[in-house]
Amino acid sequence: MPNPFVLNTTNREDLSIMSIEGYLDAHTAPQFEEKLQAEIEAGRTRIVVDCSKLSYISSAGLGVFMSFIEEIREHSGDIKISGLAPKVRHTFEILGFHDIFDLLDDVQAAVKRFEDKPTREV
């Protein structure tokens, strides 16, 4: 039962908008991790992760967000997470991610948040 997972990245000026779809779990997390790593290596540290089509996230998936956030914020960048479905948002909140990350309703709001608050302290 391989879980479906799709990852698309678009660039808007200096923002990278990564949209993730399907199941982000232990099997698919490495793909996401690789992509994030590549973005950071390319110097693109202002990232919006659009989760509007994300239907499941496991602890391994959540770990990916955490493993890069410090490095990104040291470079004055940030990861803003947008469009979480209620169930997925619930998982984020259980873990306390709403205290670490900006969780926005949609990509538009996330882009706007970058203007108001380009980064935040860890």
Partner 1 sequence: MRISRLIVLILIAVAGYALLARLSSQQPASGFGYVLDRSEAINRARIEAKQRGIDADSWRAGVETQVQGNSAIYLKNTPHPGLKDLLSPIAVEATLSEPSTGRRFFATLAADGRLLGFRRREPQPDGINLSAEQAEQLAESSLADIAGEKRSDFVRRPAPPSTGESRTFSWEMIAPDESRVKVTLDVVVTGGRIMSVSLNPAFSPVHLEQQRKARQPLNTVSVFFPILIAATLLVAFICYMLHIVRKEVRHRSTLIFLAATFVLMSLWGINGEIHEDLFTDLTGAPPFGSVLLGYALSVLLISLINSLFIAPFFVMFAAGFPYAVHLPKNPLNTIELILRGKAGARIVGRSLFTGLSLGWILPVIPLAVSAYGRLEYPALKPGSLPDAFNASFPTLSPPTDFATIQLFTVFSVFAFLYPLIARFVRRRAVVRLLVVVVAAAGLTAATPFQVSMTGMFLGALIQAIAFAAIIYRVDVLSAVTALIAGDFAAKLCVYASQPSPSLQSSGWRGWAALVILAAGAAVLAFRGRETSEEEHHLQWVNEAQRANRVERERLKAEFEVARRAQQQMLPDKPPSAPGLDISAHCRPAREVGGDLYDFLDLPDGRLGIVVADVSGKGVPASLYMTLTKGLLASVSETTSDPGAILHEVNRHLYIACRKKMFVTLLLAVFDPHRRTLTYARAGHNPPVLRRNRAGETTLLKAPGIGLGLNGGDLFKRTMKVESASLEAQDLLILYSDGITEAMNEQREEYGEERLMELAARLDSISAEGVKDAVLNDVGAFLGRVPPQDDQTIVVVRVL
For partner 1, the binding residues (CB under 8 A) are: 1, 26, 55-56, 58-60, 62-63, 66-67, 70, 87, 94-97, 99-100, 122
Question: Which one, 29 or 111, has the nearer CB to partner 1?
Answer: 29
Element (H, E) at 53: strand 46-57
Question: Which one, 13 or 99, has the nearer CB to partner 1?
Answer: 99
Distance of closest approach, residue 59 Cβ to partner 1, in angstroms:
4
Distance of closest approach, residue 99 Cβ to partner 1, in angstroms:
4
| CA-to-CA dists, residue 8 to 1, 11, 63, 75, 96, angstroms | 22, 10, 20, 23, 26
The C-alpha atoms of residue 11 and residue 22 are separated, in whole angstroms, by: 21
Distance of closest approach, residue 105 Cβ to partner 1, in angstroms:
21
Question: Which one, 63 or 118, has the nearer CB to partner 1?
Answer: 63
Provide the residue count of the chain: 122
Distance of closest approach, residue 118 Cβ to partner 1, in angstroms:
18
Question: Which one, 15 or 62, has the nearer CB to partner 1?
Answer: 62
| CA-to-CA dists, residue 19 to 1, 52, 61, 65, 90, angstroms | 23, 8, 14, 14, 19
- Residue 59, classed as helix, strand or coil, is helix
